[in-house]
């Protein structure tokens, strides 16, 4: 799967229909708050989607892979309830509004846990078991442990920039990595990088520090 920068329509449609796990809902809400074009596309989907959801209620996906979510979005799903939505505000200091709500403040209020090599993470609260959302802090010029994925990883840049392969992602850019990717995203030299990483399955570490990182990070 090729990394990409802009949030794609399937995620926006899934958000509009209330089909995404909470971790993905959070990422979409944060990404849309940083991208006027994505906001416009989402509003168009919501205008149409409201009627569709009324006509055929759908349920949130409680578990399963990102691809399963996308398959459900492209099809139809019988169900009984529409989930509580993550709001999409227009204000965006360092952390977009949905992330500030999850953290209970801005970047200085995040409760970080060290994961080695100066990197830090903070797992954001979700309660549906459908994915994991983490804020990541990577010092300038440092890399995350090399890893691949059992599922899909979506990473939204929030502060600074990170390099993944030969591409650089900045605030508002979205990287999508599938199970065929082994990588070690790294902050660029210009400063520390903060990003939101959402995964739908445990990572598979393959670098020099897998055991340590697995113990510290809970990958």
Whether the CB-CB separation of 162 and 185 falls below 8 Å is answered with: yes
CB of 115 to Zn ion, least distance (A): 13
Name the minimum Å distance from CB 183 to Zn ion: 6
Residue 158 to residue 103: CA distance in whole angstroms: 14
Minimum CB separation of residue 148 from Zn ion in Å reads 7
Our CB check for Zn ion shows the closer of 153 and 200 to be: 153
Q: How far is the CB of 185 from Zn ion (least distance, A)?
A: 6
**Whole-angstrom distance, CA of residue 175 vs CA of residue 156:** 6
CB nearer Zn ion, residue 33 or residue 177: 177
Angle (deg, nearest 10), helices 36-55 and 9-17: 40
Nearest to 92 by CA among 153, 132, 18, 38: 38
Residue nearest to Zn ion (CB): 153
What are the residues binding Zn ion (CB under 5 A)? 153
**Smaller CB separation from Zn ion, 153 or 173:** 153
Q: Which lies closer to Zn ion via its Cβ, residue 126 or residue 199? A: 199
């Amino acid at each position: 799967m090729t990394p990409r920068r802009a949030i794609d329509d399937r995620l926006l449609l899934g958000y509009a229909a209330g089909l995404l796990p909470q971790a993905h809902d959070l990422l979409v809400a944060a990404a849309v708050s940083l991208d006027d074009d994505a906001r416009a596309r989402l509003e168009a989907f919501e205008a149409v989607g409201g009627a569709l959801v009324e006509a055929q209620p759908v349920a949130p996906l409680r578990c399963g892979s990102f691809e399963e979510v996308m398959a459900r979005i492209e099809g139809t799903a019988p169900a009984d309830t529409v989930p509580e939505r993550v709001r999409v505000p227009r204000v965006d200091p360092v952390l977009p509004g949905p992330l500030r709500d999850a953290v209970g403040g801005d970047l200085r209020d995040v409760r970080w846990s060290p994961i080695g090599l100066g990197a830090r993470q903070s797992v954001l609260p979700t309660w549906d078991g459908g994915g994991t959302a983490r804020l990541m802090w990577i010092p300038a010029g440092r890399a995350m442990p090399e890893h691949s994925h059992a599922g899909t990883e979506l990473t939204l840049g929030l502060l600074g920039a990170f390099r993944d392969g030969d591409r650089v992602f900045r605030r508002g850019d979205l990287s999508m990595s599938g199970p065929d990717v082994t990588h070690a995203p790294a902050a660029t030299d210009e400063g520390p990088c903060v990003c939101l990483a959402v995964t739908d399955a445990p990572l598979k570490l393959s670098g020099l520090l897998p055991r340590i990182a697995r113990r510290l990070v809970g990958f």
